[in-house]
Amino acid sequence: MPALRRSLLDSFAMLAFLNRERGCERVRHLLREARASAEPVLMNEINIGEVYYVTARARSPEQAEAVLHRLETLPIQPVSNAFPDVIEAARIKGRFGIAYADAFAVATALKHDAAIVTGDPEFRAVSRLVKIDWL
């Protein structure tokens, strides 16, 4: 039986989950599956930083800190970036014109053969390059 494709959350999906917006149930389900299977979902550290600053601006720095602590309790594996990963994200940004943080999600999904979980329409530009699991 072939292995299931991993899931990678972008900031849109994580913010939907945290703010109980459209798509939050799908993310909650993925996180439950990840905990049950002991196979965490992926999230690039750049996208985690994006969740932090969006929360800090929209709510408060204290709320952003609380979000970081909450993320530590979830079955999410943060993915760090080495120099080649940064360059790959830059290439994707240059080729497809998507936001730089989104380019990190794409580069990470390609590297780890993961499907990007998102509701951000900007990812339509890369839907032929990487699997998108739309919220």
Q: Is residue 68 part of a domain?
A: yes
Domain span holding position 93: 6-130
CATH code of the domain in which 71 resides: 3.40.50.1010
Q: Is residue 27 part of a domain?
A: yes
CA atoms within 13 A on the CB side of 40: 12
Q: Is residue 53 part of a domain?
A: yes
Q: Is the pLDDT of residue 37 over 60?
A: yes
What's the chain's average pLDDT?
A: 96
Q: Is residue 135 part of a domain?
A: no
Task: Kindly report the pTM of this predicted structure.
Answer: 0.93
Q: Is residue 54 part of a domain?
A: yes
How many structural domains are present in the chain? 1
Q: What is the per-residue pLDDT across 54-91, written as a single tens digit (0 to 9) for each? A: 999 999 999 999 999 999 999 999 999 999 999 999 99
pLDDT at 4: 61
Q: Is residue 14 part of a domain?
A: yes
